[in-house]
Amino acid sequence: MNLQTLMPVENVIYLASNCDNDFVLFYAALLKSIETHHHTGEKIISHLIGDDITDENKRKVEESLNKGIIEIRWLSSKSFLPAGLNLPDDRSLFPITIYMNLYLAYSLPQEIKKILYLDVDLIVQDDISNLYNIDLGENIIAAALDRYKNFGHPWGGVRNHKVLGFSPDLPYLNTGVMLIDTEKWRANDITAKTINAINKHKKYSHLADQYGLNVVFGKLPWIVLPQKWNHVSFEKPVEKPSIIHFIAEKPTYTNYNGILEFSDIFYDYLNLTQFKETKKMSRFKTRVKKTKIVIQKLYRKLFDDFKV
């Protein structure tokens, strides 16, 4: 698919997500929750960047949705990466598709001025237009705080913030929900700066893209969203969350340790899709999958070194 031929349309909400075949059922539940709560009339176009997603699973996602409301554009990471921009040197447990959010401003049609990036392990309980239509002003992105809240958090944050000259009180963003001004992103060279930060400080980039983006936005303007737009699944809410984020163990895992009500909400939407018969996965299987991710990354690194 030639992305640059997919011209933007007036009165459209542009979304982007990434996942592999194992997580496509989360994508289906996410989109179903968005469709259910969307009442303002805009067409929604969702770009899914993912590798090895089967035709059968693509069909199941599409048949779960009202095509008059949501259109999906399936893209592979190989075709999505722009020339001249490489992936970071990464050893995390996350699949390599996690970095695709860094390339949205370059690989999608540049006439798209604003795009909302969403992790797939989310459930939306509000009209997505209320988030998409936030005025970014002179800011490059809008995002909610991570559970670590600030750079100096003892369990997370930017662990080398002192060396980098950052205050420990700087707000620490979560990259699972990001509203992006694509023109300002390109103008400020966010992608290259983020990759450079990750590669330069590998020891501290255990949360992949999130470390690099926080380092970059420690010096650039961004909007802190109300926490209801990115509420983690294991914390009791003070108000109804507009977005529930299953950041740790997923509700489809037998060792899910989040709030049970949130798991029930997830299954309410999953059961409206073609993935409603999905069985829970054991902790052993999740560890095997993460081990495979690390091996694949090491293989890619060795192959790249051999080519050089």
pTM (2 d.p.): 0.89
**Would you state the pLDDT for residue 79?**
84
**Would you state the pLDDT for residue 272?**
99
Q: What is the DSSP secondary-structure string of the chain?
A: --GGGS---TTEEEEEEE--GGGHHHHHHHHHHHHHH--S--EEEEEEE-SS--HHHHHHHHHTS-TTTEEEEEE-HHHHSPTT-PPP---SSS-GGGGGGGGHHHHS-TT--EEEEE-SSEEE-S-HHHHHT---TT-SEEEEEEEEEETT-TTSS-TTHHHHT--TTSEEEEEEEEEEEHHHHHHTTHHHHHHHHHHHTGGG-TTTHHHHHHHHHTSS-EEE--GGGSEETTS--SS--SEEE--SS-TTBTT--S-HHHHHHHHHHHTTSTTTTPPPBPHHHHHHHHHHHHHHHHHHHHHHHHH-
**Would you state the pLDDT for residue 17?**
98
**Would you state the pLDDT for residue 207?**
80
Flag residues of the chain having pLDDT under 50. 1-8, 298-299, 302-303, 305-308
**Would you state the pLDDT for residue 82?**
85
**Would you state the pLDDT for residue 6?**
45
Domains of the chain: 6-307 (3.90.550.10)
**Would you state the pLDDT for residue 95?**
75
